[in-house]
Amino acid sequence: MTARAVQITHRRILAVAGPIVLSNVTVPILGVVDTGVIGQLGEAAPIGAVGIGAVVITTFYWLFGFLRMGTTGLTAQAYGAGRSGEVSAMLTRALMIAGTAGLAVVVLQIPLFWAAFQIAPASAEVEGMARDYLSIRIWGAPFAISIYALTGWLIALERARSVLVLQVAMNGINIALDLWFVLGLGWGIEGVAVATLIAEFGGAALGLWLCRDAFRNPAWRERARVLDRVILTRMAVVNSDIMIRSLLLTAIFTSFMFFGARFSDVELAANQILLQFLNVTAYAMDGFAFGAETFVGQALGARNKAALRRAAIMSSQWGAGISALLALGFLLFGGAAIDLMTTAEDVRVTARVFLIYMVFAPLVGWPSWMLDGIFIGATRTGDMRNMMIVTAVIYIISVLTLMPLFGNHGLWLALLVSFIARGVTLGLRYPALEAST
């Protein structure tokens, strides 16, 4: 047991949460720059091609997002238990999985691209450009997926500032090369793709350097330890549970847009604008959820129930406070934000009608975000998977019941019900989590 692992303080929580929130801010900026530089070409097709291509490749990578969460929980537990050799070996295992997954994506690129364009067809011109973009970006798969493993390991050890440095450096390189390759050299969409490829390679290299402490312990390369069958099996179970949970969560939000498409174009546009408020909420809450992952994992590794409870309560207090501030901000300034995002008066008016749901979303949703972090840190991923299945069923029943009665209001209510269901079901499993400590 490490003494530091059980000394949970507000300062330590903020030291993790603050840099994570700041690093999240850089994510949408890159998308804006990508779109902006391509927009300078004066044609619609390249903009659409980069947009579709980015969504496709990001979806492929996101399928392995479980690696970030699983690595954080398992590494934090090893750190809390004072098992420095296992901390180093965990990074090796995570990088092995990331490299294998990335190579698989590269090898399977032809059927993957085919499937993607069957699901999201585009014009021949846009699809051709998107394929050119993807044929370059795909080679960054091993590096991009490895960054999930590297950031997960850093977060587990409370090195959130390193995560911020990594994110800012990677996006900064990407933006600078975007401007040079597209506006300076005239490379078009290929320039955007090459810029991102170089940034991903650079990000992985920087991430390895930031994790260099792991390679000072010879355990990182001990074959018997790294390939321990019991631990690899546990990693497989944890990661598969998280993947199923994440797929179901994504299905809820994707279906929300599909259900919303049944209404008028104006209501659909209003929903899309309001979903950006949810993105802001998620970016803000992620920092404190990551803090919960770190400190709950360390406390569980140290077998200290009091520290685990303290980590869960203190990180959740911050989550509740941030959610209240977000709700107040949406209430006071949501209308002005809507006006900035669209000039269509009918969309503005409609979005304001449904803005109240964005005020309530952080208030009813913060327990689900925080409990996700708590359960990831404790690697109680089976509970996460099962409660997500229950939540998905409740959401579908809510949609089928409320939409016919209240239209788009019913759809928003169903989404809020899913937030509440996820929080309640995980909350009911929390006592068992503590009991396992």
CA-derived radius of gyration, the chain? 22
Over the stretch 366-417, which tens digit does the pLDDT of each residue have?
999 999 999 999 999 999 999 999 999 999 999 999 999 999 999 999 999 9
Q: Is the pLDDT of residue 434 over 60?
A: yes
Q: Is the pLDDT of residue 42 over 70?
A: no
Amino acid identity for residue 175 in this structure: I
Q: Looking at residues 274-296, what average pLDDT do you find?
A: 90
Over the stretch 314-365, which tens digit does the pLDDT of each residue have?
999 999 999 999 999 999 999 998 888 777 788 889 989 999 999 999 999 9
More confident residue, 142 or 37: 142
Exposure string over 151-173, b if 16+ CB within 10 A, otherwise e: bbbbbbbbbbbbbbbbbebbbeb
Task: State both tokens at 253.
Answer: 């939000």
Q: Looking at residues 12-19, what average pLDDT do you find?
A: 92
Q: Looking at residues 48-58, what average pLDDT do you find?
A: 79
- Domain spans of the chain, in order of start: 1-227, 241-437
Q: Is the pLDDT of residue 224 over 90?
A: yes
Query: What dihedral do alpha carbons 145, 78, 17, 200 form, nearest 10°?
Result: -20
Q: Is the pLDDT of residue 88 over 50?
A: yes
User: Which are the contacts of 229, defined by CB distance < 8 A and separation ≥ 6?
Assistant: none
Residue 7, SS3? coil
**Cα 173 from chain centroid?**
21
pTM for this predicted structure: 0.89
Q: Is the pLDDT of residue 19 over 50?
A: yes
CA distances from 158 to 12, 16, 124, 292, 376 (A): 8, 6, 48, 11, 15
